[in-house]
């Protein structure tokens, strides 16, 4: 089946290159792409499939940066409703960037190192 004129298929595209220009991410909720979407302030519609994805999706939803559709509840109508809801909520796109800025300002690497050193000193 030939592709439409406005479709392009690539073997590999880095998440960051796409998310820099994106207005929405529809994804399986892999932690890498969700973190990059947060970094670029891109709202998300997430459909987790397994492994850590339900937890990643739930956290993104709790932060107010994603709408989650359970895999078994996915349909064209449900997806269209979720996308429409994200675009209808003007505060959603800015939340991802704000959430990332908050985390970065808290020095998460430094806090993790301190926690590990504290645990090592207890042994």
* Stretch 74-94: mean pLDDT: 83
Res 53: pLDDT: 96
Lookup: tokens for 47: 């459909």
pLDDT digit string (tens) for 20-38? 888 899 999 999 999 888 8
Res 83: pLDDT: 92
User: Is 104 or 32 the better-scoring residue by pLDDT?
Assistant: 32
Res 110: pLDDT: 84
From the CA atom positions of the chain, what is the Rg in Å?
A: 17
Share of the chain above pLDDT 90, in %: 46
State the Cα–Cα distance between residues 94 and 117, nearest whole angstrom.
Answer: 35
The matching CATH number, chosen from 3.40.50.261, 3.20.20.480, 3.40.50.2000, 3.40.630.30, for 15-122 is: 3.40.50.2000
Residue 92 has pLDDT above 80, yes or no: no
Pairing of strands 66-68, 25-27: unpaired
- Per domain, the residue ranges of the chain are 15-122
pLDDT digit string (tens) for 46-62? 999 999 999 999 999 98
């Amino acid at each position: 089946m030939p592709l439409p004129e406005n479709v392009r298929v690539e073997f590999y595209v880095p998440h960051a290159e796409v998310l820099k220009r994106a207005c929405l991410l529809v994804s399986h909720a892999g932690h890498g792409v969700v973190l990059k979407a947060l970094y670029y302030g891109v709202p998300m519609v997430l459909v987790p499939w397994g492994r850590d994805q339900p937890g990643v999706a739930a956290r993104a939803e709790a932060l107010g940066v994603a709408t989650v559709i359970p895999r078994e509840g996915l349909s064209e109508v449900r997806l269209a409703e979720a996308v429409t809801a994200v675009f209808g909520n003007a505060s959603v796109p800015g939340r991802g960037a704000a959430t990332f800025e908050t985390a970065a300002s808290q020095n998460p690497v430094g806090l993790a190192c301190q926690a590990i050193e504290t645990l090592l000193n207890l042994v």
